[in-house]
Amino acid sequence: MSSEYVERLRERARAFLSEAMSAENPDLAVFFAEQSMQLYVKAILYEIFGERVRGHRLRELLAVLVKGLEGEGFRDLAGEVLDFIDRKRRLFIVAEEAYTMSRYGDVSYSKDDAEGVIELASELIKLLDEVSTRVKLG
């Protein structure tokens, strides 16, 4: 796997998260946090499975990760990811909606929405780093 590609995606993801944290406009903060998560999931998918996955819906991208982990025998780890998705379902929906609605729709996000999605992104990145480490050591 190309470590340059993985690191480039991770760097971009971290940059989007940093922008989300400093954005004054909640709509932009939610959008940037969503972009951060999207890129980080894609980095991990490529790092672990060598797949450049297309698409943008976070829960679908994470489902690809879960399926891949299960297929490689990491059922407990896949279960941890699924549990995280279930616990954070509402925030994932807000983030997915922001991908298109913040640009084209008639929706505005609150400061609380932005803070929640930024926290989700931070937690997801931490979880994905743990997944990556455990699979490498696995």
Structure-token pair, residue 26: 């909640």
Rounded distance, CA 65 to CA 84, Å?
A: 13
Residue 107, pLDDT > 60, answer yes
Average pLDDT over every residue of 87-93? 97
Residue 119, pLDDT > 80, answer yes
Of all residues in the chain, what percent carry a pLDDT higher than 70? 96
3-state SS, one letter per residue, for 35-77: HHHHHHHHHHHHHHHCCCCCCCCHHHHHHHHHHHHHHCCCHHH
Average pLDDT over every residue of 82-111? 90
What class, spelled out in words, does domain 3-137 have in CATH? mainly alpha
Average pLDDT over every residue of 19-44? 97
Q: Supply the pLDDT for residue 82.
A: 98
